[in-house]
């Protein structure tokens, strides 16, 4: 049996690793080009280390996790505003219900659908999230105290839906 030079072995492994990383960077770019917000898509996916070796389904699952994280952040802010002396408690309570629905229905439904190879239900879940965020925002008289969260949620949801649609 021939012994391989350790330096040659390390070089070969480095080339293989660079090829894998490069091809996945290309997958992220190709995937994000088919979404309504390329820059945000790239930013979200590259910020998650799981994206370095994910396929399109994996990228969609990462985006669903981002939806979950943003929904938790928004719901925490809404709950803090409700505790305060805010004059729009009815609208805030409505939004709290919408964000809870995202967390208990849309996110688990989307994750299960992606893992079971049924992307249509995941796309529906992401589209529901976008609608919930927009409906929450529209429930206020004027600008809501959670406009930034609603806009972010809507944007993440439409990017997610566009990624999932690529699996159809």
The tens digit of pLDDT for each residue in 28-47 reads 999 999 999 999 999 999 99
φ, ψ for residue 133, nearest 5 deg? -65, -45
- pLDDT at residue 166 in the model: 97
Q: What CATH number does the domain containing 68 carry?
A: 1.20.140.40
Q: Please report how many Cα atoms fall inside a 13 Å half-sphere around the Cα of residue 70, on the Cβ side.
A: 24
pLDDT digits (tens, 9 = 90+) for 102-123: 999 999 999 999 999 999 999 9
Please report whether residue 88 resides in a domain: yes
Please report whether residue 104 resides in a domain: yes
With tokens 């719901």, the residue in question is 75
| pLDDT greater than 50 at residue 15 | no
Closest residue by Cα to residue 81 from 64, 68, 99, 57? 99
Please report whether residue 118 resides in a domain: yes
> Higher confidence at residue 84 or residue 167?
167
- pLDDT at residue 105 in the model: 97
Q: Which domain holds residue 60?
A: 6-165
pTM of the model: 0.86
Q: CB–CB of 23/29 below 8 Å? A: no
Q: CB–CB of 166/122 below 8 Å? A: no
- pLDDT at residue 4 in the model: 60
Alpha carbon distance 129, 98 (integer Å): 9
Q: Which percentage of the chain shows pLDDT scores above 90?
A: 80
CB-based contacts of 41: which residues, under 8 Å, 6+ apart?
31, 32, 35, 159, 163
With tokens 């972010």, the residue in question is 152
* Counted domains in the chain: 1
| pLDDT greater than 60 at residue 14 | no
Please report whether residue 1 resides in a domain: no
Long-range (24+ apart) CB contacts under 8 A made by 92-100 are 92/145, 92/146, 94/136, 94/139, 95/136, 95/139, 95/144, 95/146, 95/150, 98/132, 98/133, 98/135, 98/136, 99/71, 99/74, 99/75, 99/132, 99/136, 100/75
| pLDDT greater than 70 at residue 99 | yes
- pLDDT at residue 63 in the model: 98
Please report whether residue 159 resides in a domain: yes
Name the token pair of 80. 């803090």
């Amino acid at each position: 049996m021939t012994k391989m030079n350790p330096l040659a072995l390390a070089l070969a492994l480095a080339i293989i690793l660079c090829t894998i990383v490069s091809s996945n960077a290309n997958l992220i770019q190709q995937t994000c080009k088919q979404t309504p917000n390329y820059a945000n898509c790239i930013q979200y996916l590259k910020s998650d280390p799981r994206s370095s070796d994910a396929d399109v389904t994996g990228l969609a699952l990462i985006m669903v996790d981002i939806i979950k994280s943003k929904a938790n952040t928004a719901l925490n802010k809404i709950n803090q505003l409700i505790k305060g002396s805010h004059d729009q408690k009815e609208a805030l309570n409505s939004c709290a219900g919408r964000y809870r629905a995202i967390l208990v229905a849309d996110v688990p439904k989307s994750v299960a659908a992606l893992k079971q190879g049924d992307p249509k239900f995941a796309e529906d879940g992401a589209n529901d999230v976008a609608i919930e965020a927009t409906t929450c925002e529209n429930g206020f008289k004027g600008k809501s105290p959670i406009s930034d969260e609603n806009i972010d949620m809507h944007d993440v949801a439409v990017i997610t839906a566009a990624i999932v649609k690529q699996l159809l």
